[in-house]
Each structure stands twice: as structure tokens, then as C-alpha cells.
């Protein structure tokens, strides 16, 4: 066996374990797309109140990303992954009293805790994918993980809808419920989240005792403050953080508000709509694996994604909610549902968003050396964009723009991603 073959063989098991974790991350994350409209109907929430469900989940990143990096430095990447899963398990148990008492604040607390667990897991698992192979193919490896992550995003709403089929209110989606209907919807959440908590606990133990090798710890080159200051002086990194912030904002808007918008249009089984966006993201990841770097560079793919996002955003905001041309052409002939074109444009945003995460990470971490760990933590903080994107969408939904026009909030986000693809990633100095 050659040295190259030995390296490839030694990386197989770690990649399998990491792949499972990416699937779990995707399942837990994109479950929000079903939970949010479900709770909106159950608790009679406004669009702004419903957006707080996502805000609580993603805002946890803001204050747990850097502590996660510190903790990983103390206990290692492997133990960091196990601890992240354990925190997510505890969060799963919190949903049970939230459902039993029908208390919105408890749901928000559960979202906050599971977001903290996700952050620790993300901070530990993402560097694995970047470091386990050559820099030039990092985007491809992240794309493979992304396929699993977003495939879980396709599965999560379908599983949720299937498990909750008997709990859906029989009245029209946009009508008020009586207390007995609310009780049925609330009790239907208990067993699924108990099962999720048990699964996460078992997986945490499995990761803890798995043969996953520990990454070599980076040599300290100064205090934590000094390293943070050095990282902040890297424009390509900090602009990458900003690019990921707005990217996650638009990704979550497209993936998780599509159910709310479908609910407002009277679409039945609105909780499954996130699957359409995630399906398009899976297609985008597959295209990324096939095209990068053979036919497209990471930079070109990133720029193309941003341009497509700008076009689709305009189509969503100004499209006709009563036409069904796209679904009639792509879904109905194969037994799918007839959905308004505007919903299909939101789903297609998944295609535009797919390449952004795997393209930004290697560009932002390029040449960081001993600052890779702190750089990864800062990039993870970009996930906080998922808290503010839906929040701004919810605020604009309460204006004359309505829910449809509120999607214009994504335009400046895609413009920033385009800037990073064209120029931002090349900057080596702020001067």
C-alpha cells in the first residue's frame, strides 16, 4: 500500500463518523422549518413572534462560538463533538415540558439550548472536513457533507409531518383553533422529541467511544486575545465571516419561512415545504461536486450562486402567487403537488445557496496557519445570521410589503456574497 493510499484509507472511518454527524446536524436544524409554522398555528403567533423560534436557535451561536473554541482547545475535537451531542439531547428533553404546558417561552429556551449544542458540534466537526485532505478539494469534501446535511433537511420535514399527521388541526391552516385542537397538536410533540433526545444521547456515547482520531492541537502563539486580534486583522477571514452571516440569513429565510408563507397562502401540509428547498440544495451540492474544481473554481461558483440568488429574490418578491407554471412542469407530471410559482422560486433559492458554505470556508481559512482554530470559531459565529434574517423578514412582513415583499431583505445579502466572491477573498490587508 502506498503512502497516499494509506492516508486515504485512514481517513475513511473519520469521514463516515463525521458524515453521520452532519446528517444529525441537518435533521435537527431543518426541523425548525416544520416546527415554526406548526407552533404558529398551535399558539396563534404573529410572523414576528414565529421568527423568534429561529432567532432563539441561531442567536446561541453569538455567545457560544468562542467559548466552544476554547472548550475544544481544552478537551479536544472528539470530546467536543460528544459534548455538543449531549447538550442537544438535553435540549430535546426541554421540548417535552414546553409542549405539555404550551408555553412559548419554554420552546424558545429549548431552541436556545439546542442552538448552543449545535454550535459546539459545528465548531468541532467543520475543521475536520477542511483539514482531513488537500486544501484544493476542501469545497468538494464540504459539499459531500452538505449533501448529507441537506438530505437530512429533506427528510426532517417529511418525518415530522408523518409523525404529526394525526395531530394536525382539521380546520383550515389560517383559521383560529379551539383548545381541544391545540391540546392535540401540543401532545403530538412529546413522543417525537423524546425519541430525538434518546437518539442524540446514544449518538453522543457512540462518538465518545468511537475510533475517531484526534486532530493535532495547534501550537499556541500568544494569548487568546492576541490571537483574536491577529485574526481580526485578516480581511479575507473577516469578510468571510460577514459572507457566512448573510448567507445563513438567506438560507434560513428560504428554508424555514417557506412553510409560513405557504401557510398564509392556505397550502395544506405546510410543514413539509422545507423539503422542497432542501431538495434543491442537495441538487446544488451534487453540481458542486461535479463541477468544482474541474470546470469551475470555488470563486466562480460562489459568484454564480450570488447572481442566481439576486435573480430569484426578485422573482419571489414580485411573482404571481396564483400561477403554477413551474410546479405544473416539474412536479405535477411526476405525481407532485401543484404549488404557486412564488413558493417554487423560494425552493429554488436552495440551489443558489448550496455552494456558498463550502466555497467560503476554504477561501476564508486559506493561509491562517495557527489561527485556523480561532478563524473557524469566528466563521461559526456567522451562523448567527440565521437569527437575524428571519427576524428582519418577520418585521418587514408587518409592513405594507407583506410576507411576499419582505423577501427583498435578501437582496443586500446576496450582493455582499457577490462582493466576497469577486474581491473580498483576495484582500490580505485592510489598507
The whole domain housing 283 covers 8-211+222-426
Query: At 429, phi and psi to the nearest 5?
Result: -150, 150
Write the CB contacts of 159 (distance below 8 Å, at least 6 apart in sequence). none
Write the CB contacts of 431 (distance below 8 Å, at least 6 apart in sequence). none
Q: How confident is the model at residue 405 (pLDDT cuts 50, 70, 90)?
A: very high
Identify whether 3 is part of a domain.
no
Q: Which residue has the higher pLDDT, 174 or 59?
A: 59
Identify whether 276 is part of a domain.
yes
What is the pLDDT, as a whole number, of residue 134? 66
Q: Over range 100-122, report the average pLDDT.
A: 93
CA dihedral sign, ordered 346, 348, 350, 355: negative
What is the pLDDT, as a whole number, of residue 9? 45
Residue 97: CB atoms within 10 Å: 14
pLDDT digits over 365-380, tens only? 887 777 777 887 788 7
**pLDDT of 88 strictly over 90:** yes
pLDDT digits over 277-306, tens only? 988 988 888 888 888 778 888 889 899 999
Q: Over range 274-278, report the average pLDDT.
A: 90
Identify whether 390 is part of a domain.
yes
Task: Please tell me the distance from the alpha carbon of residue 208 to that of residue 219, in angstroms, as a whole number.
Answer: 24
Q: Over range 62-68, report the average pLDDT.
A: 82
| Cα separations in angstroms, 227 against 50, 91, 330, 384, 391 | 38, 32, 51, 22, 32
Question: Cell 446535511 identifies what position?
Answer: 149
CA dihedral sign, ordered 101, 102, 104, 108: positive
Q: Which three cell numbers stand for residue 323?
A: 400561477
Contact 231, 374 (CB under 8 A): yes
Q: Which helix (H) or strand (E) element contains residue 80?
A: helix 77-101
Identify whether 312 is part of a domain.
yes
pLDDT digits over 205-240, tens only? 988 888 776 666 555 555 567 777 888 888 989 999
What is the domain count for the chain? Answer: 1
**pLDDT of 95 strictly over 90:** yes
What number of CA atoms fall less than 13 Å from residue 16's CA on the CB side? 10
Residue 320: CB atoms within 10 Å: 10
Q: Over range 20-24, report the average pLDDT.
A: 87
- Predicted structure pTM score: 0.79
Question: Which spans in 257-340 are helix H?
Answer: 258-264, 274-291, 298-318, 325-330
What is the pLDDT, as a whole number, of residue 10? 53
Of 111, 146, 151, 149, the closest CA to residue 130 belongs to: 146
Q: Over range 305-334, report the average pLDDT.
A: 94
Identify whether 2 is part of a domain.
no
**pLDDT of 120 strictly over 60:** yes
What is the pLDDT, as a whole number, of residue 355? 85
What is the pLDDT, as a whole number, of residue 312? 97
Mean pLDDT of the chain: 85
Identify whether 431 is part of a domain.
no
Q: Which three cell numbers stand for residue 16?
A: 463516515
Identify whether 90 is part of a domain.
yes
**pLDDT of 244 strictly over 50:** yes
Q: Which residue has the higher pLDDT, 87 or 173?
A: 87
106-133 b/e (C-beta count within 10 Å ≥ 16 → b): bbbbbbbbbbbbbbbbbbbbbbbbbbbe
**pLDDT of 408 strictly over 90:** yes
What is the pLDDT, as a whole number, of residue 249? 95
Instruction: Please report, for the domain that includes residue 14, its CATH number.
Output: 1.20.1250.20
Identify whether 217 is part of a domain.
no
Amino acid at each position: 500500500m502506498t503512502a497516499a493510499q494509506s492516508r486515504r484509507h485512514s481517513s475513511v472511518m473519520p469521514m463516515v463518523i463525521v458524515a453521520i454527524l452532519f446528517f444529525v446536524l441537518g435533521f435537527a436544524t431543518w426541523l425548525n422549518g416544520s416546527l415554526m409554522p406548526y407552533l404558529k398555528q398551535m399558539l396563534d403567533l404573529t410572523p414576528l413572534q414565529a421568527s423568534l423560534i429561529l432567532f432563539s436557535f441561531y442567536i446561541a451561536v453569538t455567545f457560544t462560538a468562542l467559548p466552544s473554541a476554547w472548550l475544544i482547545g481544552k478537551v479536544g475535537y472528539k470530546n467536543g463533538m460528544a459534548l455538543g451531542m449531549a447538550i442537544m439531547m438535553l435540549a430535546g428533553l426541554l421540548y417535552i415540558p414546553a409542549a405539555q404546558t404550551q408555553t412559548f417561552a419554554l420552546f424558545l429556551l429549548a431552541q436556545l439550548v439546542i442552538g448552543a449544542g449545535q454550535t459546539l458540534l459545528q465548531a468541532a466537526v467543520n475543521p475536520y472536513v477542511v483539514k482531513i485532505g488537500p486544501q484544493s478539494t476542501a469545497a468538494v469534501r464540504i459539499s459531500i457533507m452538505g449533501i448529507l446535511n441537506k438530505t437530512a433537511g429533506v427528510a426532517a420535514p417529511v418525518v415530522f409531518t408523518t409523525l404529526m399527521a394525526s395531530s394536525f388541526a382539521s380546520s383550515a391552516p389560517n383559521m383560529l383553533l379551539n383548545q381541544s385542537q391545540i391540546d392535540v397538536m401540543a401532545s403530538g410533540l412529546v413522543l417525537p422529541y423524546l425519541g430525538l433526545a434518546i437518539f442524540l444521547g446514544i449518538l453522543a456515547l457512540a462518538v465518545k467511544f468511537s475510533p475517531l482520531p484526534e486532530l493535532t492541537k495547534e501550537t499556541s502563539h500568544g494569548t487568546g486575545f492576541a490571537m483574536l486580534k491577529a485574526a481580526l486583522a485578516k480581511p479575507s477571514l473577516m469578510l468571510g465571516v460577514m459572507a457566512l452571516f448573510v448567507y445563513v440569513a438567506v438560507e434560513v429565510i428560504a428554508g424555514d419561512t417557506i412553510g409560513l408563507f405557504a401557510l398564509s397562502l392556505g397550502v395544506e401540509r405546510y410543514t413539509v415545504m422545507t423539503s422542497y428547498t432542501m431538495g434543491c440544495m442537495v441538487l446544488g451540492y451534487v453540481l458542486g461536486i461535479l463541477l468544482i474544481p474541474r470546470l469551475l473554481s470555488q470563486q466562480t461558483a460562489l459568484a454564480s450562486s450570488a447572481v442566481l440568488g439576486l435573480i430569484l429574490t426578485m422573482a419571489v418578491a414580485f411573482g404571481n402567487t396564483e400561477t403554477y407554471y413551474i410546479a405544473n412542469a416539474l412536479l405535477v407530471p411526476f405525481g407532485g403537488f401543484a404549488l404557486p410559482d412564488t413558493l417554487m422560486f423560494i425552493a429554488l433559492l436552495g440551489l443558489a445557496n448550496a455552494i456558498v458554505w463550502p466555497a467560503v470556508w476554504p477561501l476564508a481559512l486559506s493561509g491562517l496557519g495557527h489561527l485556523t482554530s480561532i478563524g473557524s470559531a469566528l466563521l461559526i459565529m456567522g451562523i448567527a445570521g440565521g437569527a437575524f434574517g428571519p427576524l428582519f423578514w418577520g418585521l418587514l412582513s408587518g409592513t405594507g410589503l407583506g410576507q411576499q415583499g419582505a423577501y427583498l431583505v435578501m437582496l443586500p445579502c446576496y450582493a455582499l456574497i457577490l462582493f466576497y466572491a469577486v474581491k473580498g477573498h483576495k484582500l490580505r490587508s485592510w489598507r
